[in-house]
């Protein structure tokens, strides 16, 4: 089941809805929430075509991607459009992907799952201005809109011990408030969520099965890592 939230005078609740995909859920979210936050709009969600991401050769900031970005409203005119929301923890302050590891992870996921039909990507570094401006503030308010407009979610934790024993840090990802918020919305909507795990040179894109809590997933990942070690 998917979910949407409605905010009244003294009201905050989750209503279960069938998952309708990014196009339908994104529009439904805007229709319900726009009365409280007028800036919410599919026009204020910028998406990067998957082909443009490949051509860039790295995770590039918004200012360098701007010409390639497309609004979600225009993207959804194509009924075949499918959006991947990438939720990731930056490698360091001001350095989201210093060694290109997260970029390579996203491409590897796209190549391993052609059946998902992903045409566009939302990732904060490329789709949100890195300078604080009024226009940028409007786009940041629409992160929630992007969350509801996505068809598939990919969780990419930060890489640790890159020089000696590289592995992904799922616990560190879960400790970040933004990451938690993105994950909660994705799970509440019932959208497919994939967790990227890397340990002992083994790559694993693990589908988060419905009904399993994050603690259980983390325990399973840790158990599998111990078996690989």
Bridge partner residues of 3 (DSSP): 16
Question: Quick one: pLDDT at residue 2?
Answer: 36
Question: Taking the C-alpha atoms of 225, 115, 183 and 66 in order, what is their torsion angle to the nearest 10 degrees?
Answer: 120
Domains contained in the chain, number: 1
Q: Show the tokens assigned to 49.
A: 């075509």
Asked, for residue 11, whether it belongs to a domain, the answer is no
φ, ψ at 205 (rounded to 5°): -100, 100
pLDDT digits 0-9 by tens, 179-204:
888 888 888 788 889 988 887 677 77
**pLDDT(40) > 70:** yes
Query: How far lies 224's CA from each of 79, 166, 196, 211, in Å?
Result: 39, 16, 13, 20
Question: Quick one: pLDDT at residue 148?
Answer: 93
Contact status, residue 26 vs residue 42, Cβ threshold 8 Å: yes
Asked, for residue 2, whether it belongs to a domain, the answer is no
The residue range of the domain holding 196 is 26-227
φ, ψ at 24 (rounded to 5°): -70, -45
The residue behind tokens 């604080």 is 132
**pLDDT(153) > 80:** yes
Strands 11-17 and 70-71: unpaired
Q: Show the tokens assigned to 224.
A: 């599998």
CA distance 7 to 34: 11
Asked, for residue 8, whether it belongs to a domain, the answer is no
Asked, for residue 143, whether it belongs to a domain, the answer is yes
pLDDT digits 0-9 by tens, 108-126:
999 999 999 999 999 999 9
Question: Quick one: pLDDT at residue 132?
Answer: 80
């Amino acid at each position: 089941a998917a979910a949407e939230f409605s905010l009244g005078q003294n009201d905050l609740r989750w209503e279960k809805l069938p998952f309708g995909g990014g196009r339908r859920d994104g529009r439904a979210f805007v229709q319900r929430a726009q009365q409280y936050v007028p800036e919410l709009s599919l026009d204020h969600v910028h998406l990067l075509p998957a082909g443009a991401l490949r051509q860039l050769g790295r995770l590039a900031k918004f200012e360098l991607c701007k010409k390639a970005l497309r609004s979600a409203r225009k993207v959804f005119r194509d009924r075949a459009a499918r959006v991947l929301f990438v939720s990731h923890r930056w490698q360091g302050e001001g350095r989201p992907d210093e060694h290109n590891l997260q970029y390579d992870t996203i491409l590897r996921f796209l190549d391993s799952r052609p059946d998902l039909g992903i045409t566009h990507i939302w990732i904060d570094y490329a789709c949100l201005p890195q300078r604080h401006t009024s226009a940028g503030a409007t786009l940041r308010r629409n992160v929630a809109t992007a969350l509801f407009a996505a068809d598939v979610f990919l969780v990419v934790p930060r890489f640790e011990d890159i020089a000696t024993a590289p592995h992904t840090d799922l616990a560190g990802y879960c400790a970040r408030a933004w990451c938690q918020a993105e994950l909660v919305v994705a799970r509440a909507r019932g959208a497919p969520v994939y967790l990227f795990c890397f340990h002992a040179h083994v790559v694993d894109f693990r589908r988060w099965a419905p009904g399993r809590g994050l603690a259980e997933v983390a325990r399973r990942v840790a158990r599998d890592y111990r078996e690989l070690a």
